[in-house]
Structure 1
């Protein structure tokens, strides 16, 4: 019969270890950035958002409204700052609106 280890770890710590050991950080970052965009931008912007994709350190956002695309382009730095603050780390360095 196998012996049990008496070490107790939280589920959060075990999941973090699993993600790090299997090099899953980049995939998790993509999901986290997408969720941060949805939470921060609100229902109005998300209505016109068709695709969100993180490649390396650049966030590509496809919008179906050219007016909204132009308006968001003026606030790129603020959006980058807000997303990185939401995530607690600097993942996004640039945003390209399509």
Structure 2
């Protein structure tokens, strides 16, 4: 049974408790990372992005352009840093471009 919070608890504390109790972290991280990718990469890259998937701490990005895939592969560390900064926590540790 979930622990009971006091009446003075903030909404953010209550939401964190609900997320932890229901193990929703993975799903929320998946959505957050996909949104961060769209925001950070812009229309140029998003037009060639087919799928963005987070499994564990690895981000899998499916691209339709082999040229873009090669270009982005040189900046994997920068992509990881930008996404984690956007999210405010370390969620992504590796990027796989397909």
- Shorter chain as denominator, the TM-score bin is 0.7 to 0.9
The aligned counterpart of 2:67 is 67
**Distance in 2, Cα, partners of 1:94 & 1:37:** 14
**Distance in 2, Cα, partners of 1:91 & 1:7:** 32
**Distance in 2, Cα, partners of 1:93 & 1:12:** 26
Of 16-25 and 45-54, more deviation after overlay is shown by: 16-25
Pairwise CA distance, 1:10? 3.7
The aligned counterpart of 1:14 is 14
**Distance in 2, Cα, partners of 1:17 & 1:60:** 29
The aligned counterpart of 1:3 is none
Which one has the largest radius of gyration? 1
Q: What whole-Å deviation, never above 9, does each CA across 1:50-91 have from its counterpart, x for those lacking one?
A: 000011111000000111101000100000000011111111
Tell me the TM-score normalized by structure 1: 0.87
**5+ residue gaps, structure 2:** 1-5
The aligned counterpart of 2:78 is 78
Residue pairs, 1:34-45, within 5 angstroms: 34-45=34-45
Tell me the TM-score normalized by structure 2: 0.87
The aligned counterpart of 2:26 is 26
Pairwise CA distance, 1:27? 1.1
